[in-house]
A = this chain, B = another copy of it.
Amino acid sequence: MARYQLGQVNADGSPATADRGKAVRPTLCLLMCEALGGDLAAALPAAAGLELLHNFTLVHDDVMDDDETRRHRPTVWAVWGRAQAIDAGDLLHVLATLSVLRSGGGGDSALLARDAVEVLTDGCRLVTEGQHLDIAFETSANVGVADYLDMIARKSAALLAVAFELGAVFAGNDAATRAACRAYGRELGIVFQIRDDVLGIWGDPAVTGKPVGADIQKRKKTLPIIHALETADGPDRARLRSMFGDERAPPDAETTTAILERAGSRSFVDTRIRRHARRAREALEHLPVNDWGRRNLEAVATYIARRDR
């Protein structure tokens, strides 16, 4: 089941060439390690562990959200049932920790593995907290912009912060550099999620591969919707509240986007993206990275803020 989730095998155990995901987190971990002059070989097991941890959260998320499809295949629970999927997620969680433990080489550098496990596990703590809030928000009528940003800072941004901090751990950096890496990752993670929210409403179906207003159809209360629910004028707000709170009819994409425009929600989220992207660049300025690394890390920040899919 773990290998299936990782796209390495089919449900019957035969080798697969399935979509294995983009491996964003381990890639960024190794990029930061190299940018800080670290040894990639020491960081590799931790980078792999981070990808295992991410997949553990996906397997459990799919059970919690009743999602039957991921990466164009049935989810683990859809194939083997919920009980086995919960257990398979727990195993991936375990394998993540074991992989990180085996990083850093032996002897004194075993201490690096200890630090890396702490970084990974504390990041995972934030993810479980964010997931808790996300589930609670589904049944809560009063989720504000601040609540939402707090939730995504944990659920979505924490593992990007872990990715960059792990790079710094294996490059042997001090607490200040590690904190700057964490801040860079957290801010970029927030940008990533808000950009995701923008694409879920205004994304080009030809580029994203998702229908127009995909998140509106699913009644997802993403940042633009939450902003409009807080700030739209009386009639617009009542209309939006009814469309997103009433089970009888799915919200209409055209009406919703018109309300969002009038409430200034598109401009609000774009401003937010710029603000967090600027904070990420400020954190990057304090990092003792080489020129090659700085160029690449700046390109990463620009890509995440502007991506179309």
* Residues in chain A within 8 A of chain B (CB atoms): 60, 63-65, 81-84, 86-88, 90-91, 93-95, 97-98, 101, 110-111, 113-114, 117-118, 121-122, 124-125, 128-129, 131-132, 135-136
Contacts and interface: CB of A to CB of B under 8 A. Distances in A.
Contact of A131 (B87, B111, B131): B87
A113 B121 CA distance: 14
10 contacts: A60-B86, A63-B82, A63-B86, A64-B82, A64-B83, A87-B128, A88-B132, A97-B97, A98-B121, A114-B117
A87 B135 CA distance: 10
Nearest to A95: B125
Contact of A122 (B83, B93, B98, B113): B98
Given A64-B86, A87-B60, A113-B114, A121 B97 contact: yes
Contacts of A64: 82-83, 86-87
A61 to B, nearest CB: 9
Contacts of A65: 83
Contacts of A124: 90, 94
A118 B128 CA distance: 22
A88 B129 CA distance: 9
- Enumerate the 4 nearest inter-chain pairs by beta-carbon distance, A residue then B residue, closest first: A64-B83, A91-B128, A114-B114, A97-B121
Contact of A98 (B63, B95, B125): B125
A237 to B, nearest CB: 29
B90 A60 contact: yes
Nearest to A64: B83
Contacts of A125: 91, 94-95, 98
